[in-house]
Structure 1
Amino acid sequence: MHLCQEQWRHHQVLVQDLRKQSNKTMELLRQQHQALSEDLAAAADLVERVEGHMDSVVSQTSPRACAKEADRVVEQGLWSQEESRGDLDQDWEEIPSRVSDCMEIISSIRSVKILKRVGAPKGVWLRDPRSSKVYVLNGTAGDTVYQFESVKAFTQSPGGADAGTGTGTRSIRLPSAWRGSGVAVYNGYLYYVQQGADVRVVKYDLLSGEPADTAILPVESRSFVYGLNPETLADVAVDDHGLWLLYASSESEVNINLAKMDPVTLDIEHIWETPCPRDKAEAAFVACGSVYVVYNTRLPSRSRVQCVFDVNDKVTGQEAPLFYFPRRYGAHASLKYNAEEKQVYSWDDGYQILYRMNVKKKLN
């Protein structure tokens, strides 16, 4: 019995020593974890400050050639009354599809304005260059489009579940469902990619509330155009030259195809095979006859313009701007360029953001 008691006391001492050592080790690990967390937070803050400094330097040193006499949007990102370019109650003048004398290229991002958060992580918001009205498509598919009288009316409208309600808001029910970010508004017409067995572009008259035309896209299969946004089978874009279509002709197509469309008949006038890969592309926009493809990673990081293709071969590889977007919330679900304002309307993880762009003359 005496031996058993001695052994029990010995084991008890060992257990107490082990408990003390474990407590010391755990305390040391907690201290190291806290120090590591502080180091990571400091490193993240440093990276953010460096990125902000880089964005500031690029913004300050970028040329501002070809700027209009007055920006369409004031510094606070809101519309003034005199900036209205028409009203849907008036007759619309059809803009002919032609190549303009536009000789500009986007050089960098001048400023950023975060307006609000509607709700859905993905969606589209944009404005017709010929009107002050703003159009919102909340989500990745549906048959409803919300129209707001202006950017200011949109910012003052409710968000979340009540998005699309409020003063100056009009709910438009389309004759067929749209899918993805393949949407454009041009000269009083809404162009969208229809959800269905075929991939179609539908032209919808916003004045009469009736479909004006439809066209089947030249694709062999239902292939999404952007690797990081598989909801978008094809993307419709508008710039100084008119109406464009970005798409992939088949699943085996590595790069993005670009087509020039007649905005009246929806006939395809010309097709280009761009050198811009579909893989890791999140969105794209067209400005002055050049397509800018924005890339990211599957775990969202900083979006960046990594491929530029000019249909007139006026932009050389050395001149092509390859720049980063300021880091925000996640990844862009859509990017819509407005040629009148020199601005890009973006949807980033439910937030609606305006990027005002710097432009310069093309070299050639």
Structure 2
Amino acid sequence: MEDGCFERLRCNNRTQCVVVTGSDVFPDPCPGTYKYLEVQYECVPYIFICPGTLKGIGAPTFVFEAEQQAGAWCKDPLQAAEKVFFMPWTPYRTDTLIEYATLEDFKSGRQTTTYKLPHRVDGTGFVAYDGAIFFNKERTRNIVKFDLRTRIKSGEAIVNNANYHDTSPYRWGGKTDIDLAVDERGLWVIYATEQNNGRIVVSQLNPYTLRFEATWETAYDKRSASNAFMVCGVLHVVRSTYEENESEASRSHIDYIYNTKLSQGEYADIAFPNQYQYIAAVDYNPRDNQLYVWNNFNVLRYDLEFGPPDPAEDATEV
């Protein structure tokens, strides 16, 4: 039986499936008869298990010093787990995504490829998910899906009523009015609306149809937040205050959480180490349970500490 590779890139609108066959995998079932073995398979969803309730954030691990003060970096939790996607951000000039094959290549500056995006990007809220990146199209409330394999735009969705282009950015500024996030439950949009008085709104977005599946309004003012991320369907809002602000002591912490499963929010106090004092992006990766952070030219990773898993929390298919 000849070696072969059967591949289907969009298995039932799920992540990539690859089946490798050969004599070392399936021996010839009928030696000398010149018959062959027929292989049938189907794709199943990738399953993430919620690691529990976030209890603490470790000290950052330094990865890379960038030339730009602001930007974002991430990995795709569903495909090409070793690849690093890197987007330095400059106002009105950001339209390029850089890919690295591994973290070591990223540290060494050995690029694999670059992607010219079909539109300029507002803010540092992009994410990679199942072979595509999602970003906020400049000067709009639109989210663009860009397919990394075909290098073309494969969809665009309007975030209805969302404030955009520096109307409700995070506290540092930077036009991240519309922030994207991924976690164990899929793809999320974090933004604010005038209807919610500039407070944070969270929506779950289907990454394949670009339809909004559910929306939650929170009580937290978005312009007071330094950044935010999702873990297990729970919004975590980072708040940082700095020494030059005489009305507040310098500190950084998770100030607010909102559980979309319970439709319930509450204030919190989980320390967030922030020695560089300019958090431009925070992204969670459900595959390795780490935060990917861009902070004042510094590209960082954070380990997270979780409490015991909630017995009521089931494995989540994405």
Interval of TM-score (by shorter of Structure 1 and Structure 2)? 0.7 to 0.9
Distance 1:143 1:134, change over 3 A: same
Structure 1 residue 205 corresponds to structure 2 residue 147: yes
- Shift of residue 327, structure 1, vs aligned partner: 3.3
Higher strand share: 2
**How many Å apart are 1:176 and its aligned residue?**
0.7
Matches within 5 A, 1:27-46: none
Does 2:234 match 1:307?
no
Q: Secondary structure at the match of 2:117?
A: strand
- Matched-pair contact (CA < 8 Å) for 1:294–1:306: yes
Where do residues 1-364 of structure 1 align in structure 2 (5 Å cutoff)? 91=9, 94-95=14-15, 102=50, 104-129=52-77, 130-131=79-80, 132-141=82-91, 142-157=94-109, 167-196=110-139, 198-219=140-161, 221-222=163-164, 223-250=167-194, 253-297=197-241, 299=244, 301-313=250-262, 317=266, 322-360=269-307, 361-362=309-310
- Count of aligned pairs: 264
- 1:168 is displaced (CA, Å) by 3.9
- When you count helix as a share of all residues, which structure comes out higher? 1
Aligned residues of 2:58 and 2:305 also touching (Cα < 8 A)? yes
CA distance in 2, matches of 1:315, 1:103: 20
Instruction: Tell me how far apart the structure 1 counterparts of residues 51 and 236 of structure 2 sit (CA, whole Å).
Output: 15
* 1:299-324 C-alpha deviation (Å, 9 max, x unpaired): 4843210001110129885xx75212
* Pairwise CA RMSD: 2.7
Could you tell me which amino acid in structure 2 is paired with residue 266 of structure 1? L
The answer to whether the Cα contact below 8 Å between 1:98 and 1:241 also exists between their aligned partners in 2 is no
Supply the distance in 2 between the matched residues of 1:171 and 1:100 (Cα, whole angstroms): 29
Identity %: 25
Partner Cα separation in structure 2 for residue 100 and residue 235 of structure 1: 22
Larger Rg: 1
Q: CA separation in 2, counterparts of 1:220 and 1:205?
A: 24
Q: State the secondary structure of the residue aligned to 1:154.
A: helix
Gaps (5+ residues) in structure 1? 1-88, 158-166
**How many angstroms does 1:104 deviate by?**
1.9
Q: Does the 8 A contact of 1:143 with 1:177 survive in 2?
A: yes
